[in-house]
Amino acid sequence: NAGVTQTPKFRILKIGQSMTLQCAQDMNHNYMYWYRQDPGMGLKLIYYSVGAGITDKGEVPNGYNVSRSTTEDFPLRLELAAPSQTSVYFCASTAIPVEEETQYFGPGTRLLVL
């Protein structure tokens, strides 16, 4: 199993541009999450999904959108990039509710908005 994969690894965006961060898992996990991590800080939850077709907002959803058309994929969309979205983005998945199971994290996508 590849686990949780993320693409791209690094990206530079200009203000106002849009992009999609890709996340995929091959563990047949129902639950998937997107976090952002600013320098020296902990992770903040952006969006999560409890299954295909079901998504919900986390702590910091503004400026982002997600979709979950399949169990495997959970892309994160930035429509109008802003410097405040410069961060490292992590995708994670679990088989059952996160309270009772570990989260498996991807390697992260480093995004720089200039």
Query: By the criterion CB under 8 A, which residues form the site for another protein?
Result: 4, 31, 35, 40-45, 48, 50, 58-59, 90, 92, 97-100, 102-108
Exposure b/e, 36-51, CB count within 10 A at least 16 = b: beeeeeebebbbbbee
Q: How far is CA 56 from the centre of its chain?
A: 12
CB 114 → another protein: shortest distance, Å?
Answer: 20
Q: Which is nearer to another protein, 57 or 80 (CB)?
A: 57
CB 24 → another protein: shortest distance, Å?
Answer: 14
> How big is the chain by its Cα radius of gyration, in Å?
13
CB 42 → another protein: shortest distance, Å?
Answer: 4
> DSSP readout, 6-46?
EE-SEEEE-TT--EEEEEEESS--SEEEEEEE-TTS-EEEE
Q: Which is nearer to another protein, 19 or 98 (CB)?
A: 98
3-class DSSP state of 92: strand
Q: Which is nearer to another protein, 43 or 66 (CB)?
A: 43
CB 51 → another protein: shortest distance, Å?
Answer: 11
Q: Which is nearer to another protein, 2 or 99 (CB)?
A: 99
Structure tokens at 31: 């639950």
